[in-house]
């Protein structure tokens, strides 16, 4: 992820440097142009130049002007002809050039000898130098021209400002780029490890910042945790399936061997074979039901909860009656329409009711009630009169193939299927021990938006 860091850092820093450099140089340029001149008295300069021209001629005048020591630091005198050109072929500063052009232009309309009161005419008369060949030059003070090195030295202040700004922006954008790229780098590393099969890979709380990248890191860890849990659940489920299949397959193998050794007992052994095949088939059906419970159901499906529970109880009463257990059902006056396919909802409720019947002793009872929880959920409660469940097992009983009593029939998939169904529908399924005795399982079904 270093490429992202350098892209961010380079883009931020180069852009800021260009903006800073342009701003600093433009501001200094404007300041230079708008700064007022503070040169010596032009009349003194005019008198001095007139004297040098008379005594030493043009060569003496050139030597005097070419020597920077004859003027204040950064200043000089320009000798400008009527065409706006410097006698020494130097480039005129913009302000000097414009002022000279105004003086020459105005003076051409107001001859000095005719209108001495005009300010440009007076300036021309005072600063006018006439060479031996009759060329007229206007002496004007101004800033000294700068060479390349002189420009750099004279602009040391702007370079100092630019350097300081560059250093500050370098540190600022380096820290900013690092803060942006580092969490992304950590997410990339964690994703690579996760893809390689390391389900424990996490970004870590150090990347949980308050910005969008920090939120992405946190969501990634949540996703990784969920994938890890799903992977562990599936692995445990495969182990349980293998364990559940091993017993009937072993008995099938034994029955087959007995058939080979004692053909006369074939009827008894074939009966055992059919029984074990039925157990394997039942287990396969339950596993398929669990797999279907993991899938998303059509959100447009709906069913009447009271009608569905009533049909489940009618079917369950045959099993309950055979074990001496009675079922009591309390239904609301108004049936409620809940989300979910009728067959799937009935299967989830049936698993819970059958579990209650199996754990209720003979002569005991199972209570089934339907209520409305707030405006959004229908609640089905199934209460048995059995011994209840140890606190540590209250959550585990909804795990696939988990059985508290391994001597009881079944593979331990029914409650797991019910929980998956409720989760897919947007509801919930929880278990709690009652104070007196028994286990209460509560199913919350989201309403589809109507009652009958």
Asked if 93 and 80 count as a contact pair (C-beta separation under 8 A), the reply is: no
Instruction: Note the residue count of the chain.
Output: 452
Helix ranges (H only) for 197-304 are: 212-261, 266-293
In percent, the amount of the chain with pLDDT more than 90 equals 14
Domain boundaries, the chain: 2-35+153-181, 42-145, 199-293, 298-451
Count of alpha carbons within 13 angstroms of residue 214, beta-carbon side: 8
Domain 199-293 sits in CATH at 1.10.287
Determine the Cα–Cα distance for residues 7 and 4; give it in Å rounded to an integer.
5
Measuring CA to CA, which residue among 139, 120, 118 is closest to residue 128?
A: 139
Angle of CA points 430, 431, 437, to nearest 5°: 155
CB atoms under 10 Å from CB of 373, counted, come to 12
Determine the Cα–Cα distance for residues 272 and 280; give it in Å rounded to an integer.
12
Structure tokens at 426: 């947007």
Asked if 384 and 443 count as a contact pair (C-beta separation under 8 A), the reply is: no
Strands (E), 363-438: 365-373, 377-383, 428-433
* Topology adopted by domain 298-451: Heat Shock Protein 90 (3.30.565)
Measuring CA to CA, which residue among 320, 306, 396, 304 is closest to residue 355?
A: 320
- Span 291-309, average pLDDT: 75
Q: What is the DSSP letter of 135?
A: -
Helix ranges (H only) for 35-155 are: 42-66, 94-109, 119-127, 148-154
DSSP states of 271-290 as a string?
HHHHHHHHHHHHHHHHHHHH
Between residues 109 and 342, the one the model is more confident about? 342
**Burial class of 407 by CB neighbour count within 10 A (0 to 12, 13 to 18, 19+):** exposed
What is residue 123's predicted lDDT score, i.e. its pLDDT? Answer: 53
Q: What is the pTM of this model?
A: 0.48
Cα Dmax for the chain: 154
Between residues 86 and 450, the one the model is more confident about? 86
What is residue 54's predicted lDDT score, i.e. its pLDDT? Answer: 83
For the stretch 2-42, pLDDT in tens is: 565 566 666 666 777 677 666 766 665 655 555 445 555 66
For the stretch 396-441, pLDDT in tens is: 888 877 766 655 555 667 888 888 888 888 899 999 998 888 999 9
- pLDDT of 153 above 60: no
């Amino acid at each position: 992820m270093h490429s992202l860091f350098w892209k961010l850092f380079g883009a931020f820093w180069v852009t800021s440097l260009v903006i800073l450099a342009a701003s600093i140089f433009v501001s200094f340029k404007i300041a230079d142009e708008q700064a007022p001149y503070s040169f010596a008295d032009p009349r003194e300069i005019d008198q001095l130049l007139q004297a040098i021209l008379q005594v030493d001629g043009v060569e003496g005048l050139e030597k005097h002007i070419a020597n920077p020591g004859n003027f204040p630091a950064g200043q000089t005198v320009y000798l400008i002809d009527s065409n706006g050109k410097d006698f020494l072929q130097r480039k005129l500063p913009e302000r000097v050039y414009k002022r000279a052009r105004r003086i020459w232009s105005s003076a051409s309309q107001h001859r000095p000898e005719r209108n001495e009161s005009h300010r440009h005419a007076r300036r021309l008369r005072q600063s006018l130098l006439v060479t031996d060949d009759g060329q007229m030059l206007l002496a004007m003070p101004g800033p000294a021209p700068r060479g390349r090195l002189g420009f750099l030295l004279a602009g040391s202040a702007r370079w100092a400002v630019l350097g300081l700004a560059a250093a500050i922006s370098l540190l600022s954008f380096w820290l900013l780029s690092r803060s942006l790229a580092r969490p992304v780098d950590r997410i990339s590393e964690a994703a690579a490890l996760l893809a390689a099969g390391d389900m424990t890979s996490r970004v870590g709380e150090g990347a949980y910042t308050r910005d969008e990248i920090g939120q992405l890191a946190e969501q990634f860890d949540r996703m990784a945790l969920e994938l890890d849990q799903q992977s562990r659940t599936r692995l445990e489920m495969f182990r349980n399936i293998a364990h559940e299949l091993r017993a009937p397959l072993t008995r099938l193998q034994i029955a087959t061997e007995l058939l080979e050794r004692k053909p006369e007992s074939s009827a008894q052994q074939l009966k055992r074979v059919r029984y074990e095949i039925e157990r394997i088939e039942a287990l396969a059906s339950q596993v398929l039901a669990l797999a279907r419970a993991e899938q998303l159901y059509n959100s447009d499906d709906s069913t009447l909860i009271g009608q569905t529970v009533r049909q489940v109880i009618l079917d369950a009463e045959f099993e309950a009656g055979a074990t001496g257990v009675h079922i009591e059902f309390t239904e609301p006056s108004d049936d409620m329409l809940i989300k979910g396919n009728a067959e799937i909802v009935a299967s989830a409720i049936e698993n819970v009711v059958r579990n209650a019947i199996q754990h209720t002793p003979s002569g005991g009872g199972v209570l089934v009630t339907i209520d409305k929880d707030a405006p959004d959920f229908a609640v089905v409660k199934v209460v048995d009169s059995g011994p209840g469940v140890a606190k540590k097992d209250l959550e585990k009983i909804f795990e696939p193939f988990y059985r508290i009593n391994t001597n009881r029939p079944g593979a331990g998939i029914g409650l797991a299927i019910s929980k998956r169904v409720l989760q897919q529908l947007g509801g919930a399924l929880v278990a709690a021990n009652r104070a007196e005795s028994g286990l209460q399982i509560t199913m919350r079904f989201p309403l589809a938006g109507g009652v009958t």
